[in-house]
Amino acid sequence: NGGIYYSTNFGVTWSMASGTSAVSYTSLACSSNGRLFYASVNGSSVLYSSNFGQSWASYSTVTTPQPTAAPAGQGTTPPNWLSIATALSGQYVFASQGSGVLFRSDSYGNSFAACSTVQGTWTSVASSGTGQYGAATLKGGNIYVSKNYGVTWTATSSLRLQWYSVAMSQNGRNLTAVEYGGNVYTSNNYGTTWK
């Protein structure tokens, strides 16, 4: 039986959360106090929990419709959500699609909106502690960063690689990115330059 599991005793024991099933979960993110959780699902929805991961619902059954794909070329295929990240408070949430664009929420996940125009395989997203800074990797493309809570995103370098994942420090200054089967790159200036 698949699903999302949660622990309330520092990982000693785990229980299956209600409202989850055997689908392809791709990423989890949570607020610093552990109360708010977000999960991305391949070919389905973004899920939400407000009780420390014990029960979950999709955005089609919470308060607003689930995030929809950008209008250009998306058709009716269910979104392929690959990665999700949140600020420590849980207010700002970034989500990426495997065949679409980036999405953001500034309302604790109550509503999402597309925040990039570049389409492709967005393999990973990361957030600083406040949510002011964000980073995202585009497979076969650039690393993108945001400095305004995910409102706009800018390509950071000429490195166009098969990016796999990105991570960001709490203050947003230090980043680490990994390419598929390749090297690890770092930046210590908010993603402006990489080495």
Ranges 104-108, 123-127, 143-147, 185-189: which has the least confidence: 104-108
**Do residues 46 and 109 lie in contact, with contact meaning Cβ atoms separated by under 8 Å?**
yes
The mean pLDDT value for 173-182 works out to: 95
Contacts of 132 (CB under 8 A, 6+ apart): 147, 148, 149, 172
What was the pLDDT predicted at 73?
A: 43
pTM: 0.86
Task: Tell me what percent of the residues of the chain surpass a pLDDT of 70.
Answer: 89
Q: What is the DSSP string of 71-136?
A: STT-TTPPPBEEEEEE-TTSS-EEEEETTB-EEEESSTTS--EE-----B-EEEEEE-SSSS-EEE
The mean pLDDT value for 77-93 works out to: 88
What was the pLDDT predicted at 78?
A: 56
The mean pLDDT value for 140-144 works out to: 95
The mean pLDDT value for 59-82 works out to: 51
What was the pLDDT predicted at 85?
A: 97
